[in-house]
Amino acid sequence: MSEEDSPAAATPSPRPRFRPLPLGAGPTTRLVHGARRPDWNAGAVVPPIYRSVTFRYPAAFSEGAVRGGTYLYSRLENPSVEGPAEVIRQLEGGEAAQLFASGMGAITASVLSLVGAGEEVVAVGGLYGGTTDLFGELPRLGIRVRTVPEGDRRAPDDLVTKDTRLVMFETPSNPQLRVHDIGRWSSAAHRVGALVLVDNTFATPINQTPLALGADLVVHSATKYLGGHSDLLAGAVVGSERLLRRVDPKRCLGAPLDPFVAFLLERSLKTLALRVARHNENGVRVTAAIADHPAVERVHYPGRASAEEEAIAARQMRGRGGVLGVSLRGGAAAVAVFLRSLTLIEVASSLGGVASLASVPGVTSHRHANPEELRALGIDPGFVRLALGIEDADDLVRDLREALDAAERVGAAPPL
């Protein structure tokens, strides 16, 4: 009797479930143990990497059998991808989660799946440049995009209409670190039947859980803090099972997460809470240490923009994160000297890794914006974004203050 004819092959193996954790288990415990599957993977403590693209059909094949528990094709689902998805789902408090090959893959799949021709997206200012680029393409598909400037003082109820189907924003925003009221935007959107999609990349679920505040979906560039080591590309979307069934259900957009990257992501998630605690500490320390430097015009950090935003941040955030913006008085010339003078902090784009990075949004994340658009976004020529890592705070402060001293001398030099 061949293997295919054996009784074992005739019955599809049920997909193993994740082991439930004790009621009230904390976030760090969930990060370490949230994706454990009992009596599977030959008892391995670290799950293996399933590189297989395709999987055997059960001998007694039926569509119901495949849908009921067997794997089919790795573009659709893969055992290695399910582990980190489950951990992120638990941390965000959603019913379901999907992983993608990048944050933009997750954002694109979500927006295109939820909004159609003749409908409207409200884009609240301070979005990642890639998201803004995507929204610039949506009118070709008949989708209207209405942008709300970041400093708009109108109430959310006055900014959504009966035609609005999706409201999207980041909080804290990119790169000014402005804080948007998730609960207030969610209430306004739900009154007109719209959905709210929050990019939670900067905050992470350690510092903020938008679903608990009323949002419908949460999206992450898992490349950043969730991955945490600047060595992987991934994206995630979390929400209700009903909505996640609508987000690219057949994976026809073709942006699945690679199993090896999923393995790296699950490894990295185990230390997320520890890393974010250090990022938070460094953010607070560095902001206080450089805010009064003569070369600094302004420091941008969650809650600093106004008393109102401080109240929102205190209410909806558990920590303020490790990203801050610095506007230098000397403009672009001071920025050039400042960046050249850094010895510990790397000059590179991105954020969320263990190593600190400095970048200029005007030539990185928002490089496609023209000068007028940059001014409207609040990105002045002296703007530098600092993504602080987990180094010792004293070393970061020393490096930054020495670079600011050099930038100040440029601003103080008499014109030629």
Q: What amino acid is encoded at 92 in this protein?
A: E
Residue 34 counted as domain residue: no
128 is catalytic: yes
Domain identity same for 343 and 259 = no
Tell which residue, 156, 231, 223, 224, has the closest CA to residue 196: 156
Domain identity same for 258 and 324 = no
Domain identity same for 143 and 212 = yes
199 is catalytic: yes
Domain identity same for 388 and 282 = yes
Order across the sheet with 195-199: list the strands.
Answer: 96-100, 235-239, 217-221, 195-199, 164-170, 120-124, 144-148
**pLDDT, averaged across the chain:** 91
Domain identity same for 321 and 406 = yes
Residue 54 counted as domain residue: no
Q: How many domains does the chain have?
A: 2
State which residues form the domain around 385: 273-412
Residue 246 counted as domain residue: yes
User: What is the distance between the terminal CA atoms of the chain, rounded to a whole angstrom?
Assistant: 91
In eight-state DSSP terms, residue 168 is E
Active-site residue identified among 199, 216, 258, 399: 199
Residue 94 counted as domain residue: yes
Active-site residue identified among 71, 128, 225, 301: 128
Mean pLDDT of 145-152: 91
Domain identity same for 112 and 225 = yes
3-state SS, 93-152, equals CCCEEEEECCHHHHHHHHHHHHCCCCCEEEEECCCCHHHHHHHHHHHHHCCEEEEECCCC
- Which is more confidently placed, 61 or 384? 384
Q: What is each CA distance from 56 to 3, 4, 10, 59, 136, in whole angstroms?
A: 12, 10, 11, 9, 43
User: What letters, b where the CB count within 10 A reaches 16 and e where it falls short, cover 218-235?
Assistant: bbbbbbbbbbbebebbbb
Active-site residue identified among 15, 37, 56, 75: 75
Mean pLDDT of 183-187: 98
Does the structure show a pLDDT above 60 at 400?
yes
Mean pLDDT of 156-164: 96
Of the candidates 270, 287, 320, which is a domain's last residue? Answer: 270
Domain containing residue 78: CATH number: 3.40.640.10
How much is the pLDDT for 69?
A: 64
CA torsion sign for 19, 21, 23, 26 is negative
Is omega for the bond preceding 172 within 30 degrees of 0, making it cis? Answer: yes
Domain identity same for 247 and 310 = no
* pLDDT tens per residue, range 334-393: 999 999 999 999 999 999 999 999 999 877 777 777 777 777 777 889 999 999 999 999
Q: What is each CA distance from 309 to 65, 177, 184, 403, in whole angstroms?
A: 52, 10, 13, 30
- Return the ∠ at Cα 276 (arms to 228 and 90), rounded to 5°: 85
Domain identity same for 373 and 290 = yes
Residue 89 counted as domain residue: yes
Tell which residue, 316, 310, 116, 86, has the closest CA to residue 198: 316
Domain identity same for 253 and 319 = no
Of the candidates 215, 250, 270, which is a domain's last residue? Answer: 270
Domain identity same for 91 and 200 = yes
Kindly report the number of other CB atoms within 10 A of residue 160's CB atom: 24
Of the candidates 244, 270, 296, which is a domain's last residue? Answer: 270
Domain identity same for 113 and 247 = yes
Q: What is the largest CA-CA distance in the chain?
A: 91
CA torsion sign for 387, 200, 75, 134 is negative
Q: Are 283 and 321 in contact (CB under 8 A)?
A: yes
Domain identity same for 246 and 337 = no
Active-site residue identified among 30, 165, 224, 275: 224
* pLDDT tens per residue, range 298-324: 999 999 999 999 999 999 999 999 999
Residue 52 counted as domain residue: no
224 is catalytic: yes
